[in-house]
Structure 1
Amino acid sequence: MLLSEFSLSAREAKKAVFVNPLNIPIVLSGNFGELRANHFHGGLDFKTKQVTGLPVYSIADGYVSQINVSLGSGYMLHVRHKNGYTSIYRHMLGFVHLLANYTEKYQYEHELDEVTIDLPPDEFPVKAGQQIGWSGNEGYSFGPHLHMDLIDTESGDFVDPLQFYAGMVKDTKPPRAESIMLFPQSGKGVVNSRQANFSFPPYGNRVIEAWGEIGAGIRAHDYMDNVSNHYGVHSVTLFVDGKEVCSSNMDYFSAYENRMVNSWAYAGYMKSFRDPGNKLRFLHTGDDRGIVQIKEERDYKFMFVLKDVFGNSSNYTFTVRGKKQEIPEAVVKSKYILKWDELNVLNKPGVQLIVPAGMVYKDEPVNFETFDVPGAISLDCQLHNVPLPLHAPCELEIGIRNMIKQDTKKYYIAQKIGNGYKYVGGVYNNGYICADIKDLGTYTVKIDTIRPRIAPVGKNYWPKAGIVSFSIRDNETGIKYYKGRIDGKFALFHLKLMNSRLSCRLDSRKIQKGIQHDVEILVIDNCGNASVYRDSFKW
């Protein structure tokens, strides 16, 4: 069950031995560093044969350092190990008996469902292979699986756990490319006489003409034996005329680096060049940031080398023919430009956005406009006409022009998404609603005076199932708080994020059987609108 020692590459090695967190062969549905919306996938997704309730084991000696119950990750444990790593287990169905009792006691004492409990080293020590929980499908999860993160305890970096499981995973398949893209730099390069990005299949003897400064990217996936899933590519290296131009090795990243995925990736392509403000440590370039200079009328030989964590590799070659031609000057139609290395302020009457240095990864022209909508609470504020991710939240202020309610807690900033709106948040301050936003787009001020909806689910089956269930929903600003009581006392109701189902498993140690009971559910949304539902049942 134990593995041979395996050292991390490209950083100070920490030797470690880990066991399988499940009692079935390791098959993955997701690997470390996969490109996700606004983040890299931070761990491994272990398949659980499409069922829940498999035993989950600590992968090494250590102690349970933190217990979490959350909407996003369900039942989650942190185990700090003696070897310098911390493992995190997410989306579990529940904990083993001792941990479950400890957690429930804390929840009842604090009258909370969602909790974070930090623990000392001597509270719950564990050994490698000791059961700590049960696999599940809790939180933001689209099917039964176990998600496991591995953290370098000292630095806090996410580390690729797959490096330690070489003897337990069958993988003889190399990564495969789907498409290659060339990126002529604005005002500095052209590809096939144009300044537009140019994509092409990775096979064949295609020759592309270019001149000036260009970047290259590749869209590819990795594969493993006996499974249909595809995965992120561990290593991508670009060579031009035999010289390494750029390499990426997905061994580790920090939480701070997570949103830099928006700079490195473009429409699924991994760029083999670096934006000026992209500080990803696993991306290696020279002073030219991976930009290739096509300045001679000759053939330039490009080669991408793709590798997985076990060394399976594939090569993709193509030719860029240098053809001297005119490079049009960059045309910037917008009068607003966010500088990547400066403090930026977008300001018009009724709106202000502060964008500190480092919040964009290169200079970004933006189409900043405001629109007067008759009868609206505020202007519609277009910070940019297409979504543009920011590295971290930035403060947006929008003035209220039509105060239709005096209760300022009912106002919030919303982002326009298609024909609808997405709640962002905000607080009132001297005639403005202020909120932190993570993307440029179009924003406005809305008002929410509608209470959440509460409805019993399957009430006739409550006595037989021993579970009291409700559907709770708020279609505008979302649910901020909920609490359930049975016979006037706090009852532990757990909310399932994916179906908005709030349920309490009845426990004869806390609720007397064979009599009539009163249940009360309180739900509050993000603008303070509250609903209370009262009912009775016999159990």
Structure 2
Amino acid sequence: MKKITIIIFLSLIYLNIQAQKPQLTYPKGYFLFPINPNQQNYLAGGMGDLRSDHFHSGIDIKTQGREGLPVYATGDGYISEVRVQTSGYGNVIFITHPNGFVSVYGHLKTFAEPLASYIRKKRLESQTFEIKLSLKPEEFEVARGQIIGLSGNTGGSAGPHLHFEIRDGINNILNPLNFGFAEIKDNLPPIFQQLIIKTLSTNSRINGEFGKQLFYPTKTGNNYSLNNEIFANGELGLELLAVDKMNGTNNSNGLSCVELFVDGEEQYYSHLEQFPNDVSHDINVHNDYAQEQMKGQRFQKLFQEDGNNSLQIYKPSLTKGKIKITDGKTHQITVKIWDTFENSSVLNFTINGEKKEVSTTISPNTLPVSLTQTLEDNTLIIKARNLKTINSVASFKFAKSTIDLPINYVKNNEAVYLWDLKKGLPDSIKVDGVSKATNFRKVIVPNIDDAFESDALEINFEYKSLYNTLYLQTEQAGNKLKISEVTIPLKSKLDVIYTPENQAILPDKTSVYHIFRNAKSFLKTSWSGNKASFSIKRLGDFVVLTDTIPPKASMMKKTPDDIRIRIGDNLSGIKNFKAFVNNEYILTDYDAKNALLWAVKSDSTQKFYGKLRLELEDNQGNKSAFEANIDTVKVKAKPVIKKVVKTKKNELKNRRQSPKLRTERPKRKHR
């Protein structure tokens, strides 16, 4: 009775919280569509699409694959902020409206006057490319339908389009399509692509195994099913790979709503109608981060992790979407998905709660035993190949004890042992005489300040650094460092102090780099003696590298009206650039994704004559200068005159293709 009372009490708390959540009113018809208003438009990206490290904020409006379309202010108001960025939004405008909403226009090619002149002036004063300006209400007022710029492809854009957002007064990202824009139409339902069923505890099993199992839904109409018999027990979670298609475009967008039912009762509900801008990074706990890092697939979880407590996109649920099957019975699972236009699809399947018998036989051989280890949430997975007998145990060695575990199950002649890390961190594992170090150092729990220290390494954790408990692993060799796995997301940065083994380094030319898929990412590093201090936003592999090579430049075009230069760096990356003509600073724009820099005229009459000097600096402080002369006089190429024999046959052809030089243009004959 006491247990029932507690459950009812908690349910009332959840419902009360949900009831207190403010209901947003969308003033339909208030805003004008910012591109080709009153015409059908198409989207390249939707609200809340699953992106790397963030939810997509707003919508991406197609611009016919080109730049330069007029962008209109969606409503009356004033320009409250502008930015020029190498990445992210690129050239972007923020407009604050009288009703408290803020509209955002990203990846612009150019700004409209007089704003463009104002930005050029401020950039000339600061001698910088990137700039962020906050503006007063009386400085740049705009009217609904006023052209504020031209669409482009600046910043982190992967192709020409307009990124468009609407936010509320406290910086929540809202779905622009909820404001009733008739320019976007869609009657196509979302598509189920793949489903993962995952064990959420060491004792859980799916078809007799631990970990993840992948399934492919089969479509019949708008309904989907699984043609697989699934046996599972314990605590389970579902993960979904699905997309939404829209009329008139091949782009794949995200879902608006996802709902999970178990035996007809709702266990999980998420709705990406709005979310705070500052928690967009929490997509890394909403999604299966490991699946994205290793396979590039963005599966969204249909359950809430314990560390997923900042995103307010979920309906309160006691189970938080986690499915518990302990009764040995068959259970009906239903997943419903919607897009913004409420087009929907449904997936139905069953899970049999009976335990499935798995292989317990091993084919012995004479090959040496090999051990591999992986980490799945709180569970250490040891796989052993080439064992001599099914009775081989795994000895988990701790500082003061050793625990022997039998084989949990066998798959493809490989024995699998499972250890719940909540019971302790083993120093090593030994199977049939073969040992493997685990490299576990410490258990770091979220929501408290903590640190790990050793002779060569110090890692500082703030209370907000982690989503979930981290079973910290470290390895060091030479100038290489490994801090746990890249598959584990961080909520915020960690501060690291590292002493590499190789002391023959140049501190002012040496930094730490994060290594992933052969790509090296520069990390700003400071040195105190032989100790390197740096901050990391990702776990995984790191290396200390020296960069003494300055950036390079190559001239692409140089005329008094147009200067274009390609720039690049071999390792640490471009940090700063400045261009001068006859020792006078000139504005330059930079497209980082194409490594292209070009001169920007301060006004339409400016010409670039004389000596050009481009100064470059990389992130390691290496500097270079590139110089060229721009001709002050345009030299016309001399015409090539061919001697042509006159004949009646080619007289008309010669007259059309090789006209004689004349002091005045001949009059065209009318025919």
Q: TM-score, normalised by structure 1?
A: 0.90
**Which residue of structure 2 lines up, in the alignment, with residue 394 of structure 1?**
494
Amino acid at match of 1:448: D
Please point out which of 346, 366, 369 is paired with 2:452: 346
Q: Give the equivalent residue in structure 1 for 2:627.
A: 534
Stretch of structure 1 that moved more, 84-93 or 325-334: 325-334
Residue in structure 2 matched with residue 125 of structure 1 by the alignment: 141
| Separation (CA, whole Å) in 1 of partners of 2:455 and 2:77 | 57
Q: Which amino acid aligns with 1:273?
A: F
Q: Indicate which of 509, 513, 520 corresponds to 2:613.
A: 520
Q: Which amino acid aligns with 2:337?
A: L
Equivalence for 1:12: 23
**In 2, are the aligned partners of 1:33 and 1:232 still within 8 Å (CA)?**
yes
Q: Tell me what 1:489 maps to.
A: 584
2:51 to 36, 39, 44: 36
- Map residues 45-84 of structure 1 onto 2, 5 A cutoff: 45-72=60-87, 73-84=89-100
Q: Would you say the 8 A contact 1:62–1:81 is kept in 2?
A: yes
Task: Give the C-alpha shift of residue 178 in structure 1.
Answer: 0.8
Secondary structure of the structure 1 residue equivalent to 2:497: strand
TM superposition shift of 1:417: 2.5
Partner of 1:278: 308
Farther-moved stretch of structure 1 (476-485 vs 447-456): 447-456
- 1: CA distance between counterparts of 2:105 and 2:98? 17
1:108 equivalent in alignment to 2:124: yes
Secondary structure at 2:178's aligned position in 1? helix
Flag the 1:70–1:321 CA change in 2: closer, same or farther, 3 A: same
Shift of 1:517: 0.7
Cα distance in structure 2, aligned partners of 1:447 and 1:507:
39
Structure 1 residues 184-223: aligned runs within 5 Å: 184-202=199-217, 203-223=225-245
Post-superposition offset of 1:198? 1.3
How many Å apart are 1:507 and its aligned residue? Answer: 5.9
Provide Cα deviations, 1:278-325, integer angstroms capped at 9, x if missing partner.
122102342333211101121111100111112111111110111147
1:165, distance to aligned residue in structure 2 (A): 3.4
Contact 1:214 1:293 in 2 (8 A): yes
Percent of residue pairs identical: 27
The answer as to whether partners of 1:346 and 1:352 remain within 8 angstroms in 2 is: yes
**Counterparts of 2:303 and 2:517, CA distance in 1:** 32
Which residue does the alignment assign to 1:3?
Answer: none
Displacement of 1:344 in angstroms is: 4.0
Q: What does residue 467 of structure 2 align with?
A: 361
Provide Cα deviations, 1:188-211, integer angstroms capped at 9, x if missing partner: 421111112112122345331111
> What are the superposed Cα offsets for residues 11-70 of structure 1, whole Å, 9 maximum, x if unpaired?
431433211101152210000111111111112110001111100011111110012111
CA root-mean-square deviation: 2.3
Please state how far the C-alpha of 1:115 moved relative to its aligned partner. 1.3
Matches within 5 A, 1:412-431: 412-419=511-518, 421-431=520-530
Compared with structure 1, are the counterparts of its residues 391 and 454 closer, same or farther at alpha carbon in structure 2 (3 Å cutoff)? same
Q: Name which of 161, 165, 175 aligns with 1:160.
A: 175
Shift of 1:172: 0.8
Aligned equivalents of 1:25, 1:487: Cα separation in 2: 50
Once the 2 structures are TM-superposed, how far is the Cα of residue 167 of structure 1 from its aligned partner?
A: 2.6
CA–CA distance in 2 between the matches of 1:238 and 1:10? 22
1:303 & 1:149 partners in 2: Cα distance?
33
Q: Please give the secondary structure, in 1, of the residue aligned with 2:572.
A: coil
- The residue type paired with residue 576 of structure 2 is Y
Selected match of 1:470 from 547, 559, 565: 565
Q: 2:600 and 2:92 mapped to 1: Cα distance?
A: 19
* Distance (Å, rounded) in 2 between the aligned partners of 1:93 and 1:285: 43
* 1:453 shift after superposition: 0.8
Deviations 1:93-124 (A, max 9, x none): 10112111111122222222221111100111
SS in 2 for 1:319: strand
Structure 1 residue 370 corresponds to structure 2 residue 476? yes
Q: In structure 2, what is the equivalent of residue 225 of structure 1?
A: 247
Distance 1:471 1:166, change over 3 A: closer
How far residue 534 of structure 1 moved from its aligned partner, in angstroms, is: 1.9
Q: Is the 8 A contact 1:296 1:324 kept in 2?
A: no
Conserved in 2, the CA contact under 8 Å of 1:277 and 1:341? no
Moved more, 15-24 or 340-349: 340-349
Cα distance change on mapping 1:443 and 1:204 into 2, 3 Å: closer
SS of 1:220's partner is: strand
- State the aligned residue count: 517
Determine which of 481, 499, 502 is the counterpart of 2:597: 502
User: CA–CA distance in 2 between the matches of 1:227 and 1:370?
Assistant: 49
Amino acid at match of 1:67: V
* TM-score, normalised via structure 2 length: 0.73
The one-character-per-residue Cα deviations of 1:186-243 (angstroms, maximum 9, x if unpaired) are 3142111111211212234533111111111221111111221111000000010111
Contact 1:15–1:83 at 8 Å: present in 2 too?
A: no
Residue 98 of structure 1: which of 97, 114, 117 is its match?
Answer: 114
2:342 equivalent to 1:311: yes
Q: 5+ unaligned residues in a row in structure 1: which ranges? A: 1-8, 374-378
Q: Distance in 1 between matches of 2:23 and 2:100?
A: 12
- The SS at the match of 1:390 is coil
Distance 1:370 1:518 in 2: 51
2:531 maps to which of 424, 427, 432? 432
Quickly say closer, same or farther: Cα 1:445–1:329, change in 2 above 3 A. closer
1:398·1:445 contact (CA, 8 Å) conserved in 2?
Answer: no
Higher strand share: 1
Displacement of 1:388:
2.5
Q: Secondary structure at the match of 2:114?
A: helix
| Aligned counterpart for 2:101 among listed residues 71, 75, 85 | 85
Deviates more, 1:248-257 or 1:317-326: 317-326
Letter of the 2:463 partner, please give it.
Answer: A
Change (3 A) 1:290 1:414: same
Preserved contact between residue 215 and residue 226 of structure 2 (Cα < 8 Å) = no
Q: Secondary structure at the match of 2:458?
A: strand
In the alignment, the residues of structure 1 paired with residue 566 and residue 81 of structure 2 have an alpha-carbon distance, to the nearest angstrom, of 30
Q: What is residue 186 of structure 2 aligned with on the other side?
A: 171
User: Displacement of 1:420 after TM fit?
Assistant: 5.2
Kindly provide the amino acid, as one letter, of the partner of residue 551 in structure 2.
P
Are the aligned partners of 2:486 and 2:538 in contact in 1 as well (CA < 8 Å)? no
2:211 aligns to what SS in structure 1?
coil
Kindly indicate whether the alpha-carbon contact (under 8 Å) linking 1:468 and 1:506 is maintained by their aligned counterparts in 2.
no
